[in-house]
Amino acid sequence: MSESHCLIKKRFRGYFPVVVDVETAGFNAKTDALLEIAAVTLKMDEQGFLHPDKTFHHHIEPFAGANLEKAALEFNGIDPYCALRGAIEESEAMKELCKDIRKEQKIADCQRSIIVAHNAAFDQGFVNAAIERSNIKRTPFHPFVSFDTTTLAGLALGQTVLIKACMAAGIEFDQKEAHSALYDTQKTAELFCYIVNKWKTLGGLELDQ
């Protein structure tokens, strides 16, 4: 195991942080369709600075009987039944994602993965509901613990909206790309790394304690 993997394990007390974003057809995780999910894993260099690592991404077909709120679809611009999306069944997407995350979690020698997200309760709710519908027994994700970049950005940058927090951190953000799970996940990963690394430069947590 590399020194950097040991550091990320120490930094988050055995948790493996995975940045997640979802696009959905509403706000109710139990009834509304999950349409897109993206996840970015993180790595730590020898100096203890955090960086985005691998990206996983799926477009998802609405599950059987799923509710599709018109306002939500107009907001994110997704046509759930467009063949060009290349969407796959929800259970296939979630099983593949969990398999990929478990693999990365094992490499990092971490005990559990923890979702990092902007307004994390929303994304975590949809991930948990999709995992339950998919009958996945070995989920890598902690069912309720999360790192919320909304809260962290409010503390570190005085901003809670993703685009404004990124701008305050000097992270480029193309508003035309927003509300794509892939793009928002990548930007949330950059934001989380910025905040963790900024804390380090200010004399934060010492990993050799």
The set of catalytic residues is 179
The one-character DSSP state at 158 is: S
With beta carbons less than 8 A apart as the criterion, state whether 140 and 20 touch.
no
Element (H, E) at 93: helix 90-107
For residues 52 and 206, give the distance between their C-alpha atoms in angstroms, rounded to a whole number: 21
How many alpha carbons lie under 13 Å from residue 34 in its C-beta half-sphere? 29
With beta carbons less than 8 A apart as the criterion, state whether 31 and 66 touch.
yes
For residues 180 and 191, give the distance between their C-alpha atoms in angstroms, rounded to a whole number: 16
Q: Which two tokens stand for residue 125?
A: 């709710």
- Inter-axis angle of helices 90-107 and 120-133, nearest 10: 110
The one-character DSSP state at 159 is: -
Which residue in 188, 185, 159, 162 sits closest to 175, CA to CA?
162
